Amino acid sequence: MIAQLKQIVRYSLMLLTLPLISWQPSLALQVSGLYSQQIPVTNDGEAERNRAFKEALAAVVVKVSGDPRWLENPAIERAIAQAQNYVEATSYISESIQLPLEDNTASADTDEEQFYTAEQRIISVNFAAALIDELLEDADIPVWDGNRPSVLVWMVLQSSAGDREFLTADSNPEIVRVMQDFAAARGLPIIFPVLDFEDRRTLTENVVWNLDEAAISIASERYGADSILAGRLHFTASDELVGLWQFQFQEEADVFDGFDSELQSYLYDPLNRITTRLAGYFAILPESIDGGSIRLRIDGIKNLNAYSSLLSYVENLGLVATVTTAEVDGERIELQLSLVGDTRQLYEQIALDRDLLPINNTVEDSSLATLLHYRWTR
Model confidence at 10, pLDDT cuts 50, 70, 90, reads: very low
Q: Are residues 322 and 260 both part of a single domain?
A: no
Domain-ending residue, one of 247, 282, 317: 282
Q: Are residues 195 and 259 both part of a single domain?
A: yes
> Has residue 13 been placed in a domain?
no
> Has residue 9 been placed in a domain?
no
Q: Are residues 278 and 332 both part of a single domain?
A: no
pLDDT of residue 112: 66
> Has residue 113 been placed in a domain?
no
Looking from the CA of 161 toward its CB, the CA atoms found within 13 Å total 2
pLDDT of residue 264: 93
Give me the phi and psi of 94, to 5 degrees please: -130, 145
Separation of alpha carbons 72 and 94, rounded Å = 32
* Cβ–Cβ under 8 Å, residues 132 and 88: no
Looking from the CA of 300 toward its CB, the CA atoms found within 13 Å total 15
> Has residue 24 been placed in a domain?
no
pLDDT of residue 103: 61
Separation of alpha carbons 378 and 353, rounded Å = 10
pLDDT digits (tens, 9 = 90+) for 116-164: 788 889 999 999 999 999 999 899 898 998 889 899 999 999 998 889 9
Q: Are residues 241 and 271 both part of a single domain?
A: yes
Q: How far is CA 224 from CA 75, 192, 343, 344, 351, in A?
A: 39, 12, 23, 21, 11
Separation of alpha carbons 378 and 350, rounded Å = 13
Domain-ending residue, one of 251, 282, 313: 282
Q: What does the longest C-alpha to C-alpha distance in the chain come to?
A: 80
Q: Are residues 273 and 323 both part of a single domain?
A: no
Burial (Cβ within 10 Å: 0-12, 13-18, ≥19) of residue 275 = buried
pLDDT of residue 71: 95
Amino acid at 236: T
Whether residue 2 is predicted with pLDDT greater than 50 in this model: the reply is no
> Has residue 243 been placed in a domain?
yes
Please list the alpha-helical segments (H only) found in the chain.
2-5, 46-65, 74-81, 129-138, 173-186, 197-202, 205-209, 213-220, 263-282, 304-315, 343-353, 363-366
pLDDT, average across residues 322-349: 82
Q: Are residues 239 and 310 both part of a single domain?
A: no
**In the sheet that 115-127 helps form, which strands lie side by side, from edge to edge?**
36-41, 115-127, 87-100
Neighbours of 35 (CB within 10 A): 22
Domain-ending residue, one of 138, 167, 199: 138
pLDDT, average across residues 227-234: 94
pLDDT digits (tens, 9 = 90+) for 238-289: 889 999 999 999 888 999 999 999 999 999 999 999 999 999 888 887 554 5
* Cβ–Cβ under 8 Å, residues 40 and 55: no
Which of 303, 324, 304 has its CA nearest to residue 315? 324
Whether residue 4 is predicted with pLDDT greater than 50 in this model: the reply is no
Query: Distance of alpha carbon 1 from its chain centroid, rounded?
Result: 24
Q: Are residues 83 and 169 both part of a single domain?
A: no
CATH label of the domain that carries residue 362 = 3.30.70
- Hey, which residues does 357 pair with through a beta bridge? 375
Q: Are residues 157 and 246 both part of a single domain?
A: yes
pLDDT, average across residues 221-241: 91
Torsion of the alpha carbons at 55, 57, 60 and 65, rounded to the nearest 10: -120
pLDDT of residue 286: 59
> Has residue 7 been placed in a domain?
no
Separation of alpha carbons 91 and 56, rounded Å = 13
Whether residue 3 is predicted with pLDDT greater than 50 in this model: the reply is no
Count: domains in the chain: 3
pLDDT of residue 13: 30
pLDDT of residue 135: 95
More confident residue, 183 or 21: 183
CATH label of the domain that carries residue 243 = 3.30.160.100
Whether residue 26 is predicted with pLDDT greater than 90 in this model: the reply is no
* Cβ–Cβ under 8 Å, residues 175 and 204: no
Q: Are residues 238 and 256 both part of a single domain?
A: yes
3-state secondary structure at position 53:
helix
Range of the domain at 294: 290-376
Separation of alpha carbons 352 and 343, rounded Å = 15
pLDDT of residue 272: 94
> Has residue 296 been placed in a domain?
yes
Q: Are residues 154 and 270 both part of a single domain?
A: yes
pLDDT of residue 317: 80
Averaged pLDDT score across all residues of the chain: 83
pLDDT digits (tens, 9 = 90+) for 160-211: 888 999 999 998 999 999 999 999 999 999 999 999 999 999 999 999 999 9
Q: Are residues 278 and 162 both part of a single domain?
A: yes
Separation of alpha carbons 191 and 268, rounded Å = 16
Q: Are residues 202 and 274 both part of a single domain?
A: yes
pLDDT digits (tens, 9 = 90+) for 35-93: 999 999 998 899 999 999 999 999 999 999 999 999 999 999 999 999 999 999 999 98
Q: Are strands 227-235 and 151-158 parallel, antiparallel or unpaired?
A: parallel
> Has residue 102 been placed in a domain?
no
